[in-house]
Structure 1
């Protein structure tokens, strides 16, 4: 399968090829379609649909796809950082109150239109916007190593009492919450 060209190149190529494809005879359409598929990397059926519906596809502009401006982005990021970078599904319900507080103390100033856009944003869209501001951190940093004992040899107390007088065994899992990189039990910042 051919590697896809960048979107702006594919759109420009579609704009050039679509009128020729729509005016061509059936025998010529096959050749034009082959070249279009080879150049763009699209599946044949989707490429044929695109060439037949090029006017509809090309009418959508970048301005109509990007609904939220930089003011909304900045206000969303500020609210997200104020609430300690919580997930967007929990952020969205608190947006009205946090935006009101941020405006009250002069940290953000939004027009009525931008305020309406911010308060009507979905969690998925907020996730896409905040994706650029998230720091990638390794997950599951732990200083624990697996124990040498077999779990079958460890006595486990059930609802009945033990008959043995030997002390039990305790194995604990320790997790480093220091925020640094942990190597050999020592956290490095």
Structure 2
């Protein structure tokens, strides 16, 4: 009867009227289409839709001092991620205090010790963006043979015995990609850790292929498998044919 009377007085549908009465005095969090969240509070000041909108206000716990201290420790840790930094902070602060290298007060210290990994990542997000490298990769995919060379599977790859190696090129560009510069071809046996390295004048297929054959001759045991990245210096017909001829898993 109460609901019938309420519907008659307000003009609401029965379902919506029931919702309004159920949420009277309660907070209801609603996800909006733009990804934001609003908190609706049902009280005696109903708007046209029956609810009054109030924005959530979260009290800021970690101020500028905590942020500066966190950046200070983050750089000192060689830029650890949030999960590792939260552990590092608890261990390093007592050491820094012992040597008078922690220039922050007790309140900042307590907040740093209690801060969560997720909050660390959120606070450091803008700082991390300053260090992002874009367009610096030296690997250009070799796509012509991508269907001829199988993706590595553990059934064909045995890391429990010597002979299965990882091969990679490292460019010594000094952060400036124009012109030519030396590369290092690094070949490491996964099981033993045995590593051979050769310097080549650029990443052309011919130099990479010749260096790989030279490294194979110097290896103390037969190379049975090669796992490389997808750069065109590796993904090419010469190396594919060579591996097939020598019965090497590529």
TM-score by length of 2: 0.40
User: Which structure has more strand as a fraction of its residues?
Assistant: 2
Structure 1: 4+ residue segments shifted above 6 A: none
Using the alignment, how far apart are the partners of 2:103 and 2:74 within structure 1?
Answer: 16
Corresponding residue SS for 2:127:
coil
Select the structure of larger CA radius of gyration.
2
Give 2:84's match in structure 1, choosing from 82, 90, 115: 90
- Which shows bigger deviation, 77-86 or 91-100? 91-100
Q: CA RMSD in A?
A: 4.2
Q: 1:87-127 CA deviation, whole Å, 9 max, x = no partner? A: 11111111112122233333323333322211111111111
For residue 114 of structure 1, what is the aligned residue in structure 2? Answer: 108
C-alpha contact (below 8 Å) 1:141/1:176 kept by paired residues: no
Deviation by residue 1:67-99 (Cα, 9 ceiling, x = unmatched) = 112221111111100011111111111111212
User: Structure 2 unaligned runs (5+)?
Assistant: 1-9, 13-31, 42-46, 150-155, 158-165, 183-250
Q: Count matched residues.
A: 130
Give the 5 Å matches for 1:51-70: 52-54=51-53, 57-58=54-55, 60-61=56-57, 64=59, 66-70=60-64
What CA distance in whole angstroms lies between the structure 1 residues aligned with 2:116 and 2:39? 33
Deviations 1:142-168 (A, max 9, x none): 334456984749xxxx89xxxxxxxxx
TM-score normalised to structure 1 length: 0.50
How far apart are 1:133 and its partner, in Å? 1.5
Once residues 137 and 102 of structure 2 are traced to their aligned partners in structure 1, the CA distance between those partners, rounded to angstroms, is: 39
Call closer, same or farther: CA 1:183–1:79 in 2, change over 3 Å: same
Give, in angstroms, the shift of residue 141 of structure 1. 3.3
In 2, the alpha carbon distance for the partners of 1:48 and 1:124 equals 23
Tell me, yes or no, if the aligned pair for 1:143 and 1:184 is still in contact at 8 Å. Answer: no
Identify which of structures 1 and 2 has the higher relative contact order when contacts are C-alpha pairs closer than 8 Å and 6+ apart. Answer: 1
Aligned to 1:142, what secondary structure does the other structure show?
Answer: coil
Structure whose residues are more often helix by fraction: 1
Deviation track 1:17-44 (CA, whole Å, cap 9, x = no partner) reads xxxxxxxx658xxxxxxxxxxxxxx66x
